[in-house]
Chain A
Amino acid sequence: MSDQPTIDLSPRISDELRQTTCYMCACRCGINVHLKDGRVTYIEGNRAHPINRGVLCAKGAAGIKQVMSPARLRAPLRRVGPRGSGEFEEISWEEALETAVSWLKPLRETAPEKLAFFTGRDQSQSFTGWWAQQFGTPNYAAHGGFCSVNMAAAGIYTLGGSFWEFGTPDWEQAKLLLLFGVAEDHDSNPIKLGLARLKARGARIVGVNPIRSGYNAIADDWVGITPGTDGLFILSLVHELLRAGKIDLDFLARFTNAPVLLDCDPRSETHGLFLRDAEGRPLVIDRRSGKPAPWDGEGVEPDLRGRLRRAGVTHRAVMFELAERYLDPAYAPEKVAERCGISADQIRRVAAELARAAFDAPVVLERPWTDFRGKAHRTMPGRPVAVHAMRGISAHANGFQTCRALHLLQSLLGAVETPGSFRFKPPYPKPAESHPRPHFQATPGAPLDGPALGYPQGPEDLALHEDGSAARIDKAFTWENPLSPHGLMHMVISNAAAGDPYRIDTLFLYMANMAWNSSMNTRGTMEMLTAQDSDGEYIIPRIIYSDAYSSEMVAYADLILPDTTYLERHDCISLLDRPISEPDAAADAIRWPVIAPDRDVRPFQSVLLDLGARLGLPGMTEADGSARYADYADYITNHERKPGIGPLAGWRMGPHGLTHGRGEPNAAQIDSYIGNGGFFTAHIPPEAAYYKPWNRAYQDWAVGFGLADKPQPYLIQLWCEPLRRFQLAAEGQGPVQPPEHLRGRIRATLDPLPIWYAPLSDAVEDPAELPVHALTQRPMAMYHSWGSQNAWLRQIHGQNPLYLPTYWWQKLGLKEGDWVRVTSSHGGITVPAAHMAALNPNTVWTWNAIGKRKGAWALDPDAPESTRGFLLNHLIHELLPERGDGLRWANSDPVTGQAAWFDLRVKLEKSAAPEESQPVFGALRSPIGRGTGDC
């Protein structure tokens, strides 16, 4: 032992530990940033943080390389060469801001809608949306339209809250988890922690995914479904459960609209709408009296078998419609199995497993509570079936209805907000009606009269001008996609280039790589961004872009406002937006500058406030014309959305000192957050922790904390009346009428009960000619393109083969190292191939956004991301192929406008190996070259 070297077992870790919030993906974990001599030396998870409880993923741990990345932009830039060339000159911030003002001020004074302001991976949407509203343009949204708006919208319209930020599986008590395709950051560490909890308790995990990797690799059972058929699979499960009577009747009667009475007279003007009383309250039959009563009446016991004949019209409970719809043999496992690419036995096994978990061993908490009708319950019974899903079922043209089908399944099992199932996270639950409606009437020199985005309840809420034309550049809230609460970012450039519905002047983008991996039809998008009219003017006259890094989009902007990295800035992860709450606690968080920028860059939100003040926008300007907020930190501290409610809920100022939730601004608020590790948590009382939409204790707590102005209980909307209103209009009822060519589609797809229909592209693409489904997955160690500059992460995912199932691998006679030609109705790519057995037999896939354009991200031209990496985006168009009706139909969900990325069909051929993945695009001239920084 004496021979052993003596080593220092207790070396000093750091000079200082600073706790902030990660931004290496959208998960928003707490991190401990270690510093030595002012430099970041190590990043680890914050054990006290509610999201990640100390753990941290590969991306988060690699943040140090992102913060010192050579790809960081260094100073504001003005384009000097042709758009797309990448030729820029550095300018001062004053010049940059005055340039932007000189473009934007005339627009605001004449036609505010000529500014289209769209943000990508923006975690400050309550602020950027408010800025757009103050500017007065309706043309604002973040990237949800091309991400997972189907999941979000279906959740909000059906359950009153959606998965991920606003709800979560009950990892502690679930006995079965049904997990559908999930994008890594929706979310990252909480799902992994949750799966570990399930495994530790011996709970069962069923993975429904064409690809068995990642979370599906550790699932106990794998349903290798054919893409786009999840809804059919789910409705077959519903069929089986109804047939077996394995549904929670008590839950359905009390907490869903299954007992609400519907007008069932096809000749009635209100056919399919709820029967309401004089105050507009939907009615049920009260089991106590057998008479109609308002759904929320004191002591009412709603009857699932309710029927009422009134004024010559028959009314029946929604439950009748449900039974008739889903007991139809068309949903029998044998009928759907082939289409879903799985066996009827497997469907039945999943159904039986759901029934066993829900009804054989319910979780019952001995916790008395009182519901909104005043009924006292002695216990909190729960059905321990948890469900999680995200982009996999969402990014299809039938995604909205598929997500609705999933929520129907949960509701039939009584597996919503009950112990062991799915739990809301504050500020949710909220009734869909409580959300704002879209606002779109642009007025020169004035703010918009409300937020641009919202949740329409019927045709009268659409963002249409009097002549029926779209008010928004992305055609959100039109008959083409009426319920598009996240907008359609993937249509903005396409519509602006086509001047349809109108021309815009300035396209202002933040953190959205639209010239590369964030667009469908990537080459076409580059052409649209550079298209000129006959006078040689760009059709999109001006483009402003803010990003921290030298992404592909930079080359296509005229003015670059360089952002900081996430460790150099203030942010708030706000309850007004998408906070970090947990089922048992409301929680929000901040970022703060744990290091100072070493470049001439500014945090984007502070820049927006500066621009707002220079433009004289209300809310950002004092009466004397001076800026109201010095920077974003000042806004976070002092802005009030309404009296007592600001961006952060913790440590506000009450009449007797510090308070939480409602309260006056507190100048030391951010210091309090820093002192608490960067976040704030307010615990929900135990008696309020479940059954939240219906639980008086929760409703009262939410009002007291400032999440709502009054208690707002509601029912799960199995029958979605807003959808029926659009359908009724398509049937000819009402003053606001759809264009003729959309009537049929609206009737077919805006069904008030969940339905399944084949992806819309199937109508114009021959499955025999294009027999293979092509998907992407986001790698756990890489967050979209922002990860590719990261010296550590790119060693894990520096290139991406196309994975082929055994059937196609053998059919094409492929061997290791071979390449394949992949052709869609839109284009072709030639890429490296690899074999994967654990794959649906007619599905191929690759990692998302690994392929890079030469010259971007400070990578060498021979970087594998550019030579062997590739994008599937080249195969996908934002419009469906022409079908000879003189119209071009969007490649989007007809309800929400969600981009239907995963409806992609291709054919495969073996190819000779090209020198590089095809297509090849010319190298961009990078404004930062290979950059400077610490790789």
Chain B
Amino acid sequence: MTALPDRTERRLGLVIDLDTCVGCHACVVACKGWNDQGYGAPLSDQDPQGGAPQGTFLNRVHSYEVVPERGPAQHVHFPKSCLHCEDAPCVTVCPTGASYKRVEDGIVLVEEDACIGCGLCAWACPYGARELDLAAGVMKKCTLCVDRIYNEALPEEDRVPACVRTCPAEARHFGDLSDPESEVSQLVAARGGIDLMPEQGTRPVNKYLPPRARDGWGEETDVLAPFLAPVAEEPQGFLGWLDRTLGRL
């Protein structure tokens, strides 16, 4: 019902490194803090002191366990926000044109004045990346901090999304994924960055860098063994080795 642009001039997005994300939620709260006073309506909290506190967040961290066939179980932290898809079903489903994808950078935004809070976009998004703000009655989503990244009131180095600026593990990267020379594109190429749920055909701009292999020492036994080749089995032998070694120093 709402058209996507044929193409965008750039594809700004996030590259999130699942190898280094420690699941600290810094990005979640920095996002909440910035956007509570940033683009559009504040991010409200219902029942904030009560039995069922529930508020609007544009970015959340989930955790999963992976139990490989061999080796111990692993734990993966998975931050998730809007992926600014090239074929964004949340835009095409919007009955009012409130949801749109910007031509100049590909950011998917909601024009809140035009949003009727019908929730179709949240239903259409396969990633669950949109949240209806219950106080404002409008749909909220990641804006890629559109009010930061071009903001001339900010120093150049701060013109990045709040989540990227704050990430203590430096697991979040921002840039133009249409430019193969950009740092983010290079990272994706080097680390085998992947789309989230590619079978959905949404062509997300954001990419995830998969965790590197864990618990790999089992395969290194031959390499490591020489480092523990004994010089002695008991104190006398050790002291003899000490004598010989010190004698050479």
Question: Using a CB–CB distance below 8 Å, which chain A residues touch chain B?
Answer: 1, 3-5, 7-13, 36, 41-45, 47, 52, 54-62, 64, 70, 188-189, 192-193, 195-196, 199-200, 212-222, 224, 240, 242-246, 249-250, 303-305, 319-320, 323-324, 327, 345-346, 348-349, 351-353, 355-356, 359-360, 780-781, 789, 791-796, 798, 806, 836-839, 858-860, 862-864, 867, 930-931, 935
Contact = CB atoms under 8 A, between A and B. Distances in A.
Interface string B49-91: 1111111010000010101000011111100000000000000
A58 B171 contact: no
Contacts of A1: 5, 103-104
B53 A794 contact: yes
Contact of A55 (B54, B152, B167): B167
B75 A192 contact: no
A780 B39 contact: no
A781 B32 CA distance: 14
B49 A935 contact: yes
B26 A57 contact: yes
Contacts of B221: 345, 349
Contact of B53 (A43, A58, A798): A798
Contacts of A796: 25, 28-29
Given A213-B63, A221-B216, 15 more contacts: A1-B5, A9-B151, A56-B30, A196-B169, A199-B20, A221-B215, A245-B232, A345-B221, A355-B227, A789-B49, A791-B53, A796-B29, A864-B51, A864-B52, A935-B48
A61 B147 contact: no
B189 to A, nearest CB: 16
A734 B75 CA distance: 55
Interface in B137-158: 146-147, 150-154, 157-158
Contact of B151 (A13, A346, A791): A13
B101 to A, nearest CB: 9
Interface in B163-186: 165-171
Given A42-B34, A54-B165, A212 B73 contact: yes
Contacts of A56: 26, 30, 166, 168
21 contacts: A3-B100, A44-B162, A55-B166, A61-B166, A64-B33, A213-B23, A215-B22, A218-B21, A220-B216, A245-B231, A323-B239, A327-B233, A345-B221, A352-B225, A780-B25, A791-B49, A795-B45, A796-B25, A860-B47, A860-B51, A935-B49
Nearest to A63: B33
B51 A195 contact: no
Contact of A7 (B77, B146, B171): B146
Interface stretch (B119-127, B194-202, B241-249): B241-249
Contacts of B28: 58, 781, 796
Given A192-B22, A780-B25, A52 B212 contact: no
Contacts of B32: 61-62, 792
Contacts, number: 273
Contacts of A55: 26, 165-168, 170
- List 9 A-B pairs, minimum CB-CB distance, nearest first: A192-B168, A935-B48, A862-B51, A837-B73, A352-B224, A245-B231, A791-B48, A217-B75, A196-B170
Question: Which of A8, A838, A862 counts the most B-chain CB atoms under 10 A from its CB?
Answer: A838
Contacts of A52: 168
A935 B45 contact: yes
A793 B30 CA distance: 12
B95 interface: no
Question: Which of B20, B33, B214 counts the most A-chain CB atoms under 10 A from its CB?
Answer: B33
Contact of B227 (A13, A246, A319, A798): A246
Given A52-B168, A56-B168, A244-B227, A217 B22 contact: yes
Interface residues of B, number: 91
A62 B212 contact: no
A806 B239 CA distance: 47
Question: Which of B72, B158, B212, B227 counts the most A-chain CB atoms under 10 A from its CB?
Answer: B227
A525 to B, nearest CB: 26
A310 to B, nearest CB: 21
Contacts of B49: 70, 789, 791, 858-860, 863, 930-931, 935
Given A245-B245, A320-B239, A352-B227, A214 B73 contact: no
Contact of A793 (B29, B38, B73): B29
A57 B29 CA distance: 8
Contacts of B168: 52, 55-57, 188-189, 192-193, 196
A214 B53 CA distance: 25
Given A323-B235, A859-B49, A243 B230 contact: yes
Nearest to B245: A249
B242 A305 contact: yes
A8 B151 CA distance: 9
A8 B74 contact: no
Contacts of A304: 242, 246
Contacts of B75: 212-213, 216-217, 838
Interface in B209-233: 211-212, 214-218, 220-221, 224-225, 227-233
Contacts of B21: 218
Nearest to A867: B51
Contacts of B150: 9-10
Nearest to B39: A7
B25 to A, nearest CB: 4
A8 B147 contact: yes
B249 A249 contact: yes
Question: Which of A249, A320, A781, A793 counts the most B-chain CB atoms under 10 A from its CB?
Answer: A781
Contacts of B162: 44
Nearest to A789: B49
A862 B217 CA distance: 49
B167 to A, nearest CB: 6
B228 to A, nearest CB: 5
Contacts of A250: 249
A924 to B, nearest CB: 15
A781 B29 contact: yes
Contacts of A249: 242, 245-246, 249
Question: Which of B21, B100, B166, B241 counts the most A-chain CB atoms under 10 A from its CB?
Answer: B166
Contact of B224 (A62, A323, A353, A862): A353
Contacts of A323: 235, 238-239, 242
B157 A47 contact: yes
A139 B221 CA distance: 55
A860 B50 contact: yes
Nearest to B231: A245
Question: Which of A319, A351, A359, A792 counts the most B-chain CB atoms under 10 A from its CB?
Answer: A792
Contacts of B225: 352
A355 to B, nearest CB: 4
A781 B24 contact: yes
Nearest to B243: A305
B104 to A, nearest CB: 8
B13 to A, nearest CB: 18
A860 B47 CA distance: 9
Nearest to A65: B48
B19 A218 contact: yes
Contacts of B214: 219-222
Nearest to A222: B72
Contacts of A352: 224-225, 227-228
A352 B109 CA distance: 53
A62 B33 contact: yes
Contacts of B103: 1, 4
Contacts of A305: 239, 242-243, 246
Question: Which of B47, B54, B97, B170 counts the most A-chain CB atoms under 10 A from its CB?
Answer: B170
B53 A327 contact: no
Contact of B29 (A61, A212, A353): A61
Contact of A863 (B34, B50, B77): B50
B220 A795 contact: no
